[in-house]
Protein backbone atom coordinates (compact mmCIF):
# COMPACT_ATOMS: atom_id res chain seq x y z
CA UNK A 1 0.00 0.00 0.00
CA UNK A 2 1.37 3.39 -1.01
CA UNK A 3 1.17 6.12 1.63
CA UNK A 4 -0.61 9.31 0.63
CA UNK A 5 1.66 12.23 -0.14
CA UNK A 6 2.01 14.66 2.73
CA UNK A 7 1.53 18.39 2.10
CA UNK A 8 4.77 20.35 1.93
CA UNK A 9 5.72 22.04 5.21
CA UNK A 10 6.51 25.73 5.10
CA UNK A 11 9.25 25.49 7.74
CA UNK A 12 11.49 22.96 6.03
CA UNK A 13 15.09 23.97 5.33
CA UNK A 14 16.05 24.94 1.81
CA UNK A 15 19.09 26.49 0.22
CA UNK A 16 18.84 30.10 -0.87
CA UNK A 17 20.69 31.59 -3.86
CA UNK A 18 23.89 31.96 -1.82
CA UNK A 19 23.80 28.33 -0.66
CA UNK A 20 22.80 29.24 2.90
CA UNK A 21 20.23 27.08 4.66
CA UNK A 22 16.96 28.99 4.95
CA UNK A 23 13.62 27.99 6.45
CA UNK A 24 10.51 29.46 4.85
CA UNK A 25 8.20 30.66 7.62
CA UNK A 26 5.72 32.68 5.56
CA UNK A 27 4.54 31.75 2.08
CA UNK A 28 3.17 34.10 -0.54
CA UNK A 29 -0.36 33.35 0.67
CA UNK A 30 0.64 34.02 4.28
CA UNK A 31 2.09 37.42 3.32
CA UNK A 32 -1.06 38.35 1.40
CA UNK A 33 -3.37 37.36 4.25
CA UNK A 34 -1.25 39.21 6.81
CA UNK A 35 -1.35 42.42 4.77
CA UNK A 36 -5.12 42.21 4.28
CA UNK A 37 -5.56 41.74 8.03
CA UNK A 38 -3.27 44.69 8.82
CA UNK A 39 -5.21 46.88 6.36
CA UNK A 40 -8.48 46.00 8.08
CA UNK A 41 -6.97 46.60 11.54
CA UNK A 42 -5.69 50.04 10.57
CA UNK A 43 -9.06 51.06 9.11
CA UNK A 44 -10.94 49.73 12.12
CA UNK A 45 -8.71 51.53 14.60
CA UNK A 46 -8.95 54.75 12.59
CA UNK A 47 -12.71 54.33 12.04
CA UNK A 48 -12.22 54.63 8.30
CA UNK A 49 -9.68 56.11 5.91
CA UNK A 50 -10.04 59.78 6.83
CA UNK A 51 -6.74 61.59 7.50
CA UNK A 52 -4.67 58.41 7.02
CA UNK A 53 -1.23 58.61 5.41
CA UNK A 54 0.95 55.52 4.87
CA UNK A 55 4.73 56.04 4.74
CA UNK A 56 6.87 53.07 3.78
CA UNK A 57 10.47 52.87 5.00
CA UNK A 58 12.77 51.87 2.10
CA UNK A 59 13.35 49.49 0.76
CA UNK A 60 10.71 46.83 1.39
CA UNK A 61 8.47 49.00 3.54
CA UNK A 62 7.55 51.02 0.45
CA UNK A 63 5.91 48.21 -1.56
CA UNK A 64 4.26 46.98 1.64
CA UNK A 65 2.75 50.44 2.20
CA UNK A 66 1.58 50.53 -1.43
CA UNK A 67 -0.12 47.15 -1.05
CA UNK A 68 -1.80 48.28 2.16
CA UNK A 69 -3.05 51.39 0.37
CA UNK A 70 -4.58 49.27 -2.40
CA UNK A 71 -6.22 46.93 0.12
CA UNK A 72 -7.68 49.87 2.07
CA UNK A 73 -9.04 51.45 -1.10
CA UNK A 74 -10.79 48.17 -1.93
CA UNK A 75 -12.39 48.06 1.52
CA UNK A 76 -13.29 51.73 1.94
CA UNK A 77 -13.70 52.83 -1.65
CA UNK A 78 -11.46 55.80 -0.82
CA UNK A 79 -7.89 56.65 -1.76
CA UNK A 80 -5.34 56.44 1.06
CA UNK A 81 -2.20 58.54 0.37
CA UNK A 82 1.01 56.50 0.28
CA UNK A 83 4.56 57.83 0.37
CA UNK A 84 8.06 56.88 1.47
CA UNK A 85 10.36 58.06 4.25
CA UNK A 86 14.14 57.68 3.97
CA UNK A 87 15.75 57.40 7.41
CA UNK A 88 19.39 56.95 6.35
CA UNK A 89 20.76 60.23 7.71
CA UNK A 90 19.03 59.72 11.05
CA UNK A 91 20.46 56.27 11.78
CA UNK A 92 22.73 55.94 14.80
CA UNK A 93 24.85 53.19 13.22
CA UNK A 94 26.21 55.05 10.19
CA UNK A 95 29.76 54.91 11.58
CA UNK A 96 29.59 51.11 11.90
CA UNK A 97 27.84 50.22 8.64
CA UNK A 98 28.96 50.28 5.02
CA UNK A 99 28.02 53.38 3.08
CA UNK A 100 24.29 53.41 2.50
CA UNK A 101 22.77 54.96 -0.61
CA UNK A 102 20.14 57.57 0.13
CA UNK A 103 16.63 56.45 -0.71
CA UNK A 104 13.72 58.64 -1.66
CA UNK A 105 11.43 60.54 0.71
CA UNK A 106 8.10 61.15 -0.94
CA UNK A 107 5.43 62.88 1.14
CA UNK A 108 1.98 62.75 -0.49
CA UNK A 109 0.19 66.00 -1.36
CA UNK A 110 -1.51 67.36 1.74
CA UNK A 111 1.53 66.58 3.88
CA UNK A 112 1.48 64.95 7.29
CA UNK A 113 0.43 67.79 9.59
CA UNK A 114 -2.50 66.72 11.80
CA UNK A 115 -2.70 63.38 9.94
CA UNK A 116 -2.68 59.82 11.25
CA UNK A 117 0.65 58.63 9.86
CA UNK A 118 1.27 54.90 9.72
CA UNK A 119 4.93 53.99 9.28
CA UNK A 120 5.31 50.71 7.40
CA UNK A 121 8.37 48.45 7.54
CA UNK A 122 9.14 44.83 6.78
CA UNK A 123 10.85 43.68 10.00
CA UNK A 124 10.89 45.17 13.50
CA UNK A 125 14.08 44.09 15.29
CA UNK A 126 16.08 46.36 17.61
CA UNK A 127 13.83 49.37 16.96
CA UNK A 128 16.61 51.65 15.78
CA UNK A 129 15.23 52.07 12.27
CA UNK A 130 11.91 53.23 13.71
CA UNK A 131 13.65 55.64 16.07
CA UNK A 132 15.38 57.12 13.02
CA UNK A 133 12.04 57.27 11.19
CA UNK A 134 10.47 59.24 14.04
CA UNK A 135 13.34 61.75 13.88
CA UNK A 136 13.00 62.06 10.10
CA UNK A 137 9.25 62.51 10.43
CA UNK A 138 9.66 65.29 13.00
CA UNK A 139 11.61 67.30 10.43
CA UNK A 140 8.77 67.09 7.92
CA UNK A 141 5.75 68.07 10.00
CA UNK A 142 3.63 67.34 13.02
CA UNK A 143 1.30 64.35 12.64
CA UNK A 144 -1.65 64.02 15.00
CA UNK A 145 -0.78 60.37 15.64
CA UNK A 146 2.05 58.11 14.48
CA UNK A 147 1.48 54.36 14.35
CA UNK A 148 3.65 51.48 13.20
CA UNK A 149 2.76 48.52 11.00
CA UNK A 150 5.28 45.75 10.30
CA UNK A 151 5.05 42.47 8.44
CA UNK A 152 7.30 40.67 10.96
CA UNK A 153 8.15 41.43 14.60
CA UNK A 154 11.13 39.26 15.53
CA UNK A 155 11.76 40.61 19.04
CA UNK A 156 15.14 41.55 20.57
CA UNK A 157 14.18 45.20 21.09
CA UNK A 158 16.89 47.59 22.26
CA UNK A 159 14.57 50.61 22.40
CA UNK A 160 11.07 51.00 23.89
CA UNK A 161 9.29 50.73 20.54
CA UNK A 162 6.25 48.55 19.85
CA UNK A 163 4.34 47.94 16.62
CA UNK A 164 0.63 48.73 16.56
CA UNK A 165 -0.06 46.30 13.71
CA UNK A 166 1.94 43.09 13.17
CA UNK A 167 1.56 40.53 10.41
CA UNK A 168 3.50 37.82 12.25
CA UNK A 169 5.29 37.65 15.61
CA UNK A 170 8.30 35.49 14.87
CA UNK A 171 10.46 34.41 17.83
CA UNK A 172 14.09 34.21 16.72
CA UNK A 173 17.55 33.88 18.17
CA UNK A 174 19.79 36.92 17.83
CA UNK A 175 22.10 34.92 15.54
CA UNK A 176 19.35 34.25 13.00
CA UNK A 177 18.53 36.49 10.04
CA UNK A 178 14.98 37.14 8.94
CA UNK A 179 14.67 37.87 5.23
CA UNK A 180 11.54 39.31 3.70
CA UNK A 181 11.21 38.68 -0.05
CA UNK A 182 8.68 40.76 -1.99
CA UNK A 183 7.66 40.40 -5.60
CA UNK A 184 8.37 44.06 -6.34
CA UNK A 185 11.99 43.72 -5.17
CA UNK A 186 12.86 40.02 -5.21
CA UNK A 187 10.45 38.47 -7.70
CA UNK A 188 8.52 36.48 -5.06
CA UNK A 189 6.75 36.85 -1.73
CA UNK A 190 8.07 34.90 1.25
CA UNK A 191 9.75 35.24 4.62
CA UNK A 192 12.69 33.04 5.52
CA UNK A 193 15.01 32.55 8.50
CA UNK A 194 18.69 31.87 7.97
CA UNK A 195 21.46 30.80 10.33
CA UNK A 196 21.10 30.36 14.08
CA UNK A 197 21.62 27.26 16.12
CA UNK A 198 18.88 25.12 14.59
For residue range 90-119, what is the model confidence (pLDDT) as tens digits? Answer: 887 666 666 667 888 999 999 999 999 999
**Which string of b and e fits 26-47 if b means at least 16 CB within 10 Å?**
beeebbeebbbebbeebbeebe
Is 3 domain-assigned?
Answer: no
Is the per-residue pLDDT at 6 higher than 50?
no
Is 65 domain-assigned?
Answer: yes
Give the separation between CA 33 and CA 148, rounded to whole angstroms. Answer: 18
CATH code for the domain in which residue 165 is found: 3.40.50.2020
Q: Is residue 109 a contact partner of residue 82, using CB atoms and an 8 Å limit?
A: no
Q: Give how far Cα 152 sits from Cα of 61, 141, 184, Å.
A: 11, 27, 18
Number of domains the chain is built from: 1
Is 30 domain-assigned?
Answer: yes
The helix/strand/coil state of 88 is helix
Amino acid 101: pLDDT: 74
Q: In the beta sheet, which residues pair with residue 148?
A: 119
Q: Is residue 73 a contact partner of residue 80, using CB atoms and an 8 Å limit?
A: yes
Q: Is residue 92 a contact partner of residue 128, using CB atoms and an 8 Å limit?
A: yes
Is 186 domain-assigned?
Answer: yes
Is 2 domain-assigned?
Answer: no
The helix/strand/coil state of 185 is helix
What are the start-end ranges of the E strands in 71-134? 82-84, 116-124
Domain that holds residue 33: 24-195
Is 15 domain-assigned?
Answer: no
Distance in angstroms between the alpha carbons of the first and the last residue of the chain: 35
Is 141 domain-assigned?
Answer: yes
Is 187 domain-assigned?
Answer: yes
Average pLDDT, the chain: 89
- The answer to pTM > 0.85 is yes
Q: Is residue 65 a contact partner of residue 84, using CB atoms and an 8 Å limit?
A: yes
Amino acid 4: pLDDT: 44
Amino acid sequence: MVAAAQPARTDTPALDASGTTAREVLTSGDVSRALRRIAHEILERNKGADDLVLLGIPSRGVPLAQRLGVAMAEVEGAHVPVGSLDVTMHRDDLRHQPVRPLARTDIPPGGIDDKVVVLVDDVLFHGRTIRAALEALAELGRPRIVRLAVLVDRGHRELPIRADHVGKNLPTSSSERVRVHLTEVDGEDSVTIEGGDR
